[in-house]
Amino acid sequence: MRPPVLRVLGVSKSFGGAAALRNVSVEFRPGEVHALMGMNGAGKSTLVQIISGALNPDEGLLEVDGHTQNHLTPRRARRVGISCVPQRRELVMTLTVAENIMLGDLPASGSMVRWNRVRATAQRALTDLGIAIDADAVAGDLTVAEQTMVEVAREVRRGGRVLILDEPTACLGPEAAAQIRELVLRLRDNGVAIVFISHHISEVLHLADRITVLRDGQVTWAGLAKETDEKGLVRDMVGRDVVSRRPVRPAGSPDVGISIRRLCDGRFLDRFDVDVRRGEIVAVLGPAGDAQSRLFDLLSGRRRPDSGTVSIGGRAVRPGRIAHSLASGLRCVTGDRRRLGLIPGLTIDENVLLAQDRLEGRRLHRWGRLAERAAPLRDDYRVVSLVRNPPVEQLSGGNQQKVLLAKWLGTAPSAVLLEDPTNGVDVAAMAEIHSLVDGLTGQGVAVLLASSSAEEVMRLADRVVVVRDGRRIAEYQVDRITRDELLAATLGGAL
């Protein structure tokens, strides 16, 4: 076994009296994929910030190649070969891939940039990693997966020997996620030490060589991936067993809640039909960015479809009007909570009641009553925060997602569109969100689930419509198909 390139020894860190990390020790070796797992707030991001130099530990030390590194800064961390690809893409979207890769290090003679060298070096950095992306493409035109790859190539070219990948496969469809995983394996075979952060347990079990699990700032399990299994990992992360299983649901009522007929929108949707009965969950499954990701814009009224109709409870909704969509009893919960879901600077209570207060036509807000009115929703949706009512931007992803669900599902909807409802959320929060969605069907709500995750569809839906290139290619009863068959069906159209 090769000696570790980076060692974390007995590191502790606390913020304002609350311990984020307690006596954590980890070793990262070259040619190894080392997964960090844990729930939101377990201390993963604090640990990542410490090894990438953004934070200094209160106690303990870091060793790179056997040399102690005191007072690491992001710049020094990068110089010794530790680099981080964060969860949100950090490319300059208006520049080309080549410029992005060479950013801060443009080859120049005098003060003139040598564009040929820029292009050639960047292209070589990409091809060396087996990435087929044109260096002249504009970064903003790439898919999210391709942008991630460009960032990886940039870090590797800069000499990254320890590469921290923070949830690189979140928000990606199965195919794109597979591409990222292949890249990770190639990097590993090139001798890079990979720190891999992911909430997808099955992905980690397949990909990682070694796993370290954190809970409440402490290491609860560390060892080789082959020594553990899904159940064990969950127990180490949560501290108890988490079961999220399909409940037995009574047959839905015969009344149709949502009816979509011949919906067309550019190349994204081509004469799309679906019916959802009340008390039923119907999933639309497709690769990320395909037809299902247009449903939010069209159903919420943000965007007008080219043609086609949407009816809620038998009554047609006027297209392209947010007010009409809301008045019909339809609630659309976005999968992009940062951009379209929450107002980051406002508090939990205000975000939770944002839509409800407007729908009720409330004119005056008494701040004492605000907390009182928000309390039941916060309890029902298990929103947890350290201080009483912080701005939502300070919450973990899982809690933000619960605030978003509370905001919309607390308004007594008759029909709901859910877009990737457990995006970037840990196992425990995921199980809670799943049972909240189960609860909706009990109230006779028609639920349309737009998803790019086959697991989620298998867990939640009664029926699934598979889409590809804007067309519906198949429909199944979920209890008569296996996950693998469903995955095969999703990928089938590609061949």
Q: Does 342 bind other proteins (CB under 8 A)?
A: yes
* Element containing residue 447 per DSSP (H, E): strand 446-451
Q: What is the DSSP letter of 253?
A: P
Q: Based on CB atoms, which residue is closest to other proteins, 296 or 476?
A: 296
Does 426 contact other proteins by CB under 8 A? yes
Which of 34-42, 164-172, 178-186, 262-270 is the region at the interface with other proteins (rule: CB under 8 A)?
34-42
Question: Pick from 395, 51, 396: which is nearest to 212 by CA?
Answer: 51
Burial class (CB in 10 A: 0-12, 13-18, 19+), 477: exposed
In SS3 terms, 269-287 reads as: EEEEEEEEECCCEEEEECC
Among 26, 85, 201, 428, binds other proteins (CB under 8 A): 428
Q: By C-beta, is 92 or 386 nearer to other proteins? A: 386
CB 277, min distance to other proteins, A:
26
Alpha-carbon gap, residue 403 to 42, rounded angstroms: 20
Compute the least distance from the CB of residue 215 to other proteins, in Å.
7
Q: How far is the CB of 1 from other proteins (least distance, A)?
A: 33
**E strand or H helix that includes residue 495:** none
Residue 365 Cβ, how far from other proteins at the closest point, in Å? 5
Helix (H) or strand (E) segment spanning residue 246: none
The smaller minimum CB distance to other proteins, of residues 110 and 361, is found at 361
Residues 418/284, Cβ–Cβ less than 8 Å? no
Tell me the closest approach of the beta carbon of residue 377 to other proteins, in angstroms. 15
Query: Nearest to residue 273, comparing CAs of 477, 417, 470, 441?
Result: 470
Residue 163 β-bridge partners = 83, 194
Instruction: Please name the amino acid found at residue 213.
Output: V
Contact call for residue 39 and other proteins (CB under 8 A): yes
Residue pair 213/220 in contact (Cβ under 8 Å)? The answer is yes
Here the tokens at position 106 are: 């443009």
User: CA torsion sign, 127 to 133 to 138 to 144?
Assistant: negative
Contacts of 495 (CB under 8 A, 6+ apart): none
Residues facing 162 on adjacent strands: 82, 193
- Partnered with residue 468 across adjacent β-strands are 471
Q: By CB under 8 A, tell whether 371 contacts other proteins.
A: no
Least CB distance from residue 420 to other proteins, whole Å? 16
Q: Is 363 in the site for other proteins (CB under 8 A)?
A: yes
Token pair in block for residue 471: 């067309």
Cα 410 from chain centre: 23
By CB under 8 A, name the one of 332, 352, 417, 449 that touches other proteins.
332
Q: Rule CB under 8 A: which of 287-306 touch other proteins?
A: 300, 302
Total residues contacting other proteins by CB under 8 A comes to 43
The Cβ of residue 251 has, within 10 Å, a number of other Cβ atoms equal to 9
Nearest distance from residue 131's CB to other proteins, in Å? 33
Question: Is 346 among the residues that bind other proteins (CB under 8 A)?
Answer: yes
Distance in angstroms (rounded) separating the CA atoms of residues 18 and 238: 19
Which of residues 67 and 366 has its CB atom nearest to other proteins in the complex?
Answer: 366
274-282, 320-328, 477-485, 486-494 -> range binding other proteins (CB under 8 A): 320-328
CB of 106 to other proteins, least distance (A): 30
Interaction mask 202-241, other proteins, x per CB under 8 A: -------------xx---------------------x---
Place of tokens 């009340």: 278
Among 341, 397, 413, 421, binds other proteins (CB under 8 A): 341
What minimum distance in Å lies between the beta carbon of 385 and other proteins? 7
Question: Would you count residue 355 as binding other proteins (CB under 8 A)?
Answer: yes
Q: Does 384 bind other proteins (CB under 8 A)?
A: yes
322 binds other proteins (CB under 8 A): yes
| Minimum CB distance to other proteins, residue 39 (Å) | 4
Among 54, 242, 354, 473, binds other proteins (CB under 8 A): 354
CA distance 46 to 41: 9
Q: Which of 42, 197, 233, 258 binds other proteins (CB under 8 A)?
A: 42
Closer of 102 and 429 to other proteins (Cβ): 429
Ramachandran bin of 382, using left for φ above 0, alpha for ψ from -120 to 50, beta for the remaining angles = left
CA 43, 49, 50, 51 torsion-angle sign: positive
Among 1, 323, 494, 495, binds other proteins (CB under 8 A): 323
| Residue numbers at the binding site for other proteins (CB under 8 A) | 16-18, 39-42, 215-216, 238, 300, 302, 322-323, 326, 332, 334, 339-346, 350, 354-355, 357-359, 362-367, 384-386, 407, 426, 428
